[in-house]
A and B are shown apart, each in its own frame.
Chain A
Amino acid sequence: MNAPAYNFAYLDEQTKRMIRRAILKAIAIPGYQVPFASREMPMPYGWGTGGVQVTAAILGPHDVLKVIDQGSDDTTNAISIRKFFGKTAGVATTTSTAEATVIQTRHRIPEAPLHAGQVLVYQVPIPEPLRFLEPRETETRRMHALGEYGLMHVKLYEDIARFGHIATSYAYPVKVNARYVMDPSPTPKFDNPKMDNCAALQLFGAGREKRIYAIPPYTTVVSLDFEDHPFSRYRFDAPCALCGAEDAYLDEIVTDDAGSRMFVCSDTDYCESRQAAGHRGHESAAPHKEGAHG
């Protein structure tokens, strides 16, 4: 039987070159979805195969990798992906946003501002922002080519007409570099402003749909809106119960079956750093830590 032997960061160099070419093209055309020959990865489609391939293609032996899911380093899929690269690439891993050179994420952008030289890799399920308005790829590619985004504005307008608000709370569409309408991946719209003029390189990988796209550092990213209905972040009513942060995205934790709940930071590293710096919320208690990450 053939005993499998795998390359650094799992993918063979040929495949990495193919992915890097797609990444370079994506950086050259901000917001444009570049088709690439996505491989079958040893984790399921829909579980981050696009992000994993992008990370595998850009990772070097001296990189420091952070992986988050829902903003947390300790969610099961984040652990699984971090372990995968720990095992196949032997790179250093961290939970610290500031120390990481590559951050792979699902559904969140870290609260701490990213700095130049960092790369944020997003896992993307459906890269096409127009998909739920027009299911056909042939049609949506044409719409992007012509910059024909009227359909999206009509959808947003209809939301306002029906609900009084734009009823999209995550995967909120943005326009990149005043040209392509782009899906930011299913991050809450709270995170959208962080994409604009960001110092870090932002790469998006969709494995199942075989697309890569990018936002180069310091690129203009605008959330779609109307003059009389400007984009607004969703704001929580409460500060974080653990670190007292008032500017962070919060998870709602149901604490009993009688309707009690509390709000805590979704970005665990941000919350822990603030607590370490002496910030306290009304439920402060150092979170139980299992141990160092492998």
Chain B
Amino acid sequence: MYVAVKGGERAIENAHRLLAHERRGDRDVPEITLAQISEQLGLAVDRVMTEGSLYDRELAALAIKQARGDLIEAIFLVRAFRATLPRLGATEPVDSGAMRVARRVSSTFKDIPGGQILGPTFDYTHRLLDPQLAEGFVPDEPATSQASSAATPRVTDILGRDGLIEPSPPAEADAPVGDLTREPLGFPADRDLRLQNLARADEGFLLAMGYSTQRGYGRNHPFAGEIRFGEVEVEFLAEDVGFAVPLGSIELTECQMVNQFKGSATEAPCFTRGYGLAFGQSERKSMSMALVDRSLRARELGEEVLAPAQDEEFVMSHSDNVQATGFVEHLKLPHYVDFQSELGLLRKLRKEFAEANDNPEPMQEAAE
């Protein structure tokens, strides 16, 4: 006798109870705190803030804890929370030129005004597992010296003075800022929306897209003009006060790629820009973003669109990991009604095939 499968409600509750248990792990092991995640897994927090589009270290740490370290799940949690927040307005554009730089490197010049500053970086570490770190390791205090008072102008601004690189389009103070979370995205999309999409995009997806341009699928001859990481002030123009009020400071990583451009009938050859920006220290993300931003400018620069990384519909429609993971994982949901429909059709076609093979004539008729 068949008993209809019911009891889903209790099954869901029990599954979530088990999830909470597994999340906690062995209860003899101390529970991880949000401060520990924020302080010791800081780059994971940076990624969740960047792709979650919400600058809040504590909430990002909570999301990572709740998601058991699954960063895409954590990003999803932050996004769902962010969607409910009221929008009070847009801040003044941040000035990355005035950044309090913690790290800043350029690959296009040996030395630059303000100097190359390595800062905290994995670069040049030898990737050898360090058993000392397993427990109880107390690192040395960081080296210190008198802070330089020299300004650290952006490398692209230095190139810009000679007109060797295209100017950044000037900011229009009164122009509305595009927001693809409030207005449905249409194609072709302007660069502000493209950059917003890329800033929220999955790091792995952008990495692969950027990498593909380096391997020849839409090559754009990049140089890392500058990568800088540090703190910038965020200001908000309060209408009633009449001046910009500081809201605090945030950490950003900015990457400006300098790319070849052969020029056209109307424009002299010059370097062009690809731009990347991310919360916290997110170098892989901002570099990949800059490569892809530049490739997506193909249409604007009159280049032939041949490779996936140059195709804005392809890139922008597939870059969001919350959308992508939802749709891929929805295949777990029951599909038995449609499957049944397919089964019925397949059985019918196979039956007809078998009959036709016994007697080949009717097949011919079908083909006509």
Q: Which residues of B contact A45 (CB under 8 A)?
A: 322-323, 325-327, 330
With A1-B58, A138-B313 in contact, is A188–B8 under 8 Å at CB? no
Q: Which residues of A contact B183 (CB under 8 A)?
A: 37
Report A8-47 CB contacts with B as 1/0, cut-off 8 Å: 0010100000000000000000000001111111101111
Contact status B338-A41, CB under 8 Å: no
Contact status B184-A37, CB under 8 Å: yes
Q: Which residues of B contact A39 (CB under 8 A)?
A: 83, 181
Indicate if B343 sits at the interface (CB-CB under 8 A).
yes
Contact status B330-A125, CB under 8 Å: yes
Contact status B9-A79, CB under 8 Å: yes
Indicate if B121 sits at the interface (CB-CB under 8 A).
no
Complex Cα spacing A75 to B11, Å: 11
Q: Which residues of A contact B327 (CB under 8 A)?
A: 45-46, 125, 208
Binds A, one of B134-142, B264-272, B344-352: B344-352
Contact status A40-B80, CB under 8 Å: yes
Contact status A189-B326, CB under 8 Å: no
Report B356-368 CB contacts with A as 1/0, cut-off 8 Å: 0000000000110
Indicate if A132 sits at the interface (CB-CB under 8 A).
no
The secondary structure that dominates the A interface is: loop
Complex Cα spacing A221 to B83, Å: 36
Q: Which residues of B contact A4 (CB under 8 A)?
A: 81, 84
Indicate if B129 sits at the interface (CB-CB under 8 A).
no
With A40-B322, A125-B327, A264-B4 in contact, is A69–B313 under 8 Å at CB? no
Binds B, one of A114-122, A144-152, A245-253: A245-253
Complex Cα spacing A188 to B341, Å: 6
User: For B8, B188, B317, which residue has the most chain A Cβ atoms within 10 angstroms?
Assistant: B8
Q: Tell me the minimal C-beta distance from B337 to chain A in angstroms.
A: 5
Binds B, one of A57-65, A157-165, A175-183, A196-204: A157-165
Closest to B347 in A: A237
Q: Tell me the minimal C-beta distance from A111 to chain B in angstroms.
A: 13
Indicate if A108 sits at the interface (CB-CB under 8 A).
yes
Q: Tell me the minimal C-beta distance from B314 to chain A in angstroms.
A: 8
Q: Tell me the minimal C-beta distance from A86 to chain B in angstroms.
A: 11
Q: Which of A37, A41, A70, A291 contacts B182 (CB 8 A)?
A: A37
Contact status B80-A138, CB under 8 Å: no
Contact status A42-B338, CB under 8 Å: no
Closest to B346 in A: A169
Report B308-338 CB contacts with A as 1/0, cut-off 8 Å: 0000010001000011011111100111111
Contact status A290-B3, CB under 8 Å: no
A side interface size, CB within 8 A: 75
Closest to A241 in B: B2
Closest to A171 in B: B338
Complex Cα spacing A136 to B312, Å: 11
Q: Which residues of B contact A6 (CB under 8 A)?
A: 84
Q: Which residues of B contact A35 (CB under 8 A)?
A: 184, 186
Contact status B2-A289, CB under 8 Å: no
Q: Tell me the minimal C-beta distance from B75 to chain A in angstroms.
A: 10
Closest to A172 in B: B341
Complex Cα spacing A1 to B317, Å: 33
Q: Which residues of B contact A266 (CB under 8 A)?
A: 337, 340
With A76-B11, A137-B313, A165-B348 in contact, is A47–B6 under 8 Å at CB? no
The secondary structure that dominates the B interface is: helix
Complex Cα spacing A4 to B348, Å: 54
Report A270-294 CB contacts with B as 1/0, cut-off 8 Å: 0000000000000101011111011
Complex Cα spacing A46 to B313, Å: 20
Q: Which residues of A contact B103 (CB under 8 A)?
A: none
Q: Which residues of A contact B352 (CB under 8 A)?
A: 164
Complex Cα spacing A190 to B329, Å: 27
Contact status B338-A170, CB under 8 Å: yes
Indicate if B242 sits at the interface (CB-CB under 8 A).
no
Report A74-115 CB contacts with B as 1/0, cut-off 8 Å: 111111100100000000000000000000001110000000
Contact status B2-A74, CB under 8 Å: no
With A75-B8, A75-B334 in contact, is A285–B1 under 8 Å at CB? yes
Q: Which of B62, B83, B186, B336 contacts A41 (CB 8 A)?
A: B83
Complex Cα spacing A42 to B84, Å: 10
Indicate if A194 sits at the interface (CB-CB under 8 A).
no
Contact status B345-A36, CB under 8 Å: no
Indicate if A186 sits at the interface (CB-CB under 8 A).
yes
Contact status B334-A249, CB under 8 Å: no
7 nearest A-B pairs in the assembled complex, by CB-CB distance: A45-B326, A46-B330, A44-B326, A287-B4, A35-B184, A169-B341, A46-B327
Contacts A40-B322, A107-B338 known; 9 new A-B pairs at CB < 8 A:
A1-B59, A38-B184, A44-B329, A46-B326, A106-B333, A137-B187, A242-B4, A268-B4, A288-B6
Q: Can you name 10 A-B pairs with beta carbons within 8 Å?
A: A1-B62, A37-B182, A44-B326, A107-B337, A138-B187, A169-B341, A236-B344, A241-B2, A242-B4, A290-B7
Residues of B participating in the A interface, judged by any CB pair closer than 8 Å: 1-12, 58-59, 62, 76, 79-84, 86, 181-188, 313, 317, 322-323, 325-330, 333-338, 340-345, 348-349, 352, 366-367
